Chain A
């Protein structure tokens, strides 16, 4: 599969995800209409809300994600951060893409992610641990991997997914709270409302983790292999990425800035559940990332080509 097919596929998938999300909202609105109004009042509000949050996540989602992982802009005076900025600029030259905005996260676990809506509006965040532990060549490899996510428009799809999964989790949270509060206060008059809330809560609370897992499985794992491969094509140095991944894997402490909502964005699983050990098990089927050992093996095979 070449990069243009990958981009086209990502575009289609993004629309599919948005459509699914909008229909879920419409369904919730429809439930309210059925029991309260009989006219499509809540349905329209829900549709508007879905459209609005979809638009907002497209426009400002990257900032939300960066803020939620406590990323701050780089300090150009610091030699170590200056070097990372240089590495990013080198990779943007090598890949022919605009220079993304750069952020640093004060976290000792080596990890990194890219986000944004297109190459012209993209950001790369890196943990301090990654800059401490990786040498210049390995940093280049990680930067090239992230640039490939940007070039393939993986970042847009991931962005929409993380914000929408987050929104579904919010609805689940809200409905469960109003459900259990209304039950305590007056159990008779709020009968039908409680029923609707229960339905919403069931749908969203059950759906949110399932959706995020399925999406992570389908979306993230093959894309990681692909970004590894095209990242190696940018640096012409697959072994540097292999050794970077080895170092990242060795430091299998969880990235504290990662969370359920953005796990699929990072170069290695922020839950840090030492993936090398569980390889081949059923748990592996549901992981957001392919086993690092598999990625390293694929990269070492590539090394003969350059």
Chain B
């Protein structure tokens, strides 16, 4: 009788340790995933002034767009927290897309090797941010699922594990329905 009791206690103990360690591992993976996004964002912040500096001379008449890009960059650097950061980053991505679209109108920029190199670096950085976010969101979702599932959620509550926010892609421009002007005047 005593043996059965002991076996049950040991079993529960092992399960406790296993679940706790799984939570710790996932939590750290999530933190690491977030750091990866940060690294890529930093890379983007460093590249943007370079790009603006290079195209400034030729794109004199696009001051508005250039200022918007710089402003969005500075704002994105300063904000903290997953949700706010995600929002500012989305604004910055939009501004950059606009700038790239405008570059297409300037043949001397398109044929400039420095500009194409910078453009490739920025396209790549955009992708890196996107893929780092995808990686982070996958890990974070996994962590949240384990955290909220029974019976692990009991342990999570005991040791005060908190769920993590996802880095949402929600682009303000994409959220709104496209406005079509049917006023044929």
A, B in one complex:
yes
- B36 and A89 contacting across the interface, CB-CB below 8 Å: no
- B135 and A94 contacting across the interface, CB-CB below 8 Å: yes
CB of A76, distance to nearest CB on chain B (Å)? 10
B62 within 8 A of A: no
- A79 and B134 contacting across the interface, CB-CB below 8 Å: no
- B40 and A82 contacting across the interface, CB-CB below 8 Å: no
A86 within 8 A of B: yes
Interface residue count on the B side (C-beta < 8 Å)? 15
* Number of cross-chain contacts by CB at 8 Å: 36
Chain B proximity mask over A22-34: 1 for CB below 8 Å, otherwise 0: 0000000000000
CB of B99, distance to nearest CB on chain A (Å)? 18
Chain A proximity mask over B24-58: 1 for CB below 8 Å, otherwise 0: 00000000000010001000000000000000000
Q: Which residues of A contact B40 (CB under 8 A)?
A: 93
Decide yes or no: A89 and B134 within 8 Å by CB, A79-B117, A79-B120, A82-B120 being known contacts: no
Decide yes or no: A86 and B134 within 8 Å by CB, A79-B113, A93-B36, A93-B40 being known contacts: no
Q: How large is the interface on A (under 10, 10 to 19, 20 to 34, 35 or more residues)?
A: 10 to 19
Q: Which residues of B contact A93 (CB under 8 A)?
A: 36, 40, 128, 131-132, 135
For chain B residues 126-151, which have a beta carbon within 8 Å of chain A?
Answer: 127-128, 131-132, 134-135
- B131 and A86 contacting across the interface, CB-CB below 8 Å: no
A236 within 8 A of B: yes
B21 within 8 A of A: no
- A86 and B135 contacting across the interface, CB-CB below 8 Å: no
Q: Which residues of B contact A87 (CB under 8 A)?
A: 124
Q: In chain B, what residue has the closest Cβ to A91?
A: B131
Chain A proximity mask over B111-123: 1 for CB below 8 Å, otherwise 0: 0010011001101
A96 within 8 A of B: yes
Q: Which residues of A contact B134 (CB under 8 A)?
A: 94, 236
Decide yes or no: A89 and B135 within 8 Å by CB, A79-B113, A82-B117 being known contacts: no
CB of B120, distance to nearest CB on chain A (Å)? 5
Closest 10 CB pairs of A and B: A94-B131, A86-B124, A90-B127, A93-B131, A93-B132, A90-B128, A93-B128, A83-B120, A90-B131, A96-B135
